[in-house]
Amino acid sequence: MSYLSANTGQLKRDWNSPIYAFFSPSPTIEYVGGRCSHVFKCTTKGCGKTVRRFLDKSDACSTGNLHKHV
């Protein structure tokens, strides 16, 4: 298991907002400009869009952008 997978597993324990029900349970990990992010895929029928959350910001656990999408 890689460090990122283990770190994501630790973060998932704190993901208890109901908004996560609208997204795939396992986000993908992507790097954009050297910055690590979780990419959540919407599971609503006919949608499939993604929402990115950067992990190097002070609001890395914020669900605001997930709420805006839904």
pLDDT, tens digit, for every residue of 2-50? 445 546 666 677 778 899 999 998 889 999 999 989 999 999 999 989 9
pTM here?
0.77
β-strand 35-41 against 28-32: which pairing, if any? antiparallel
pLDDT of 62 reads 85
Range of 13's domain?
A: 3-69
pLDDT of 2 reads 47
In terms of pLDDT, which residue wins out, 5 or 68? 68
Number of domains the chain contains: 1
DSSP 3-state of 28: strand
pLDDT of 25 reads 86
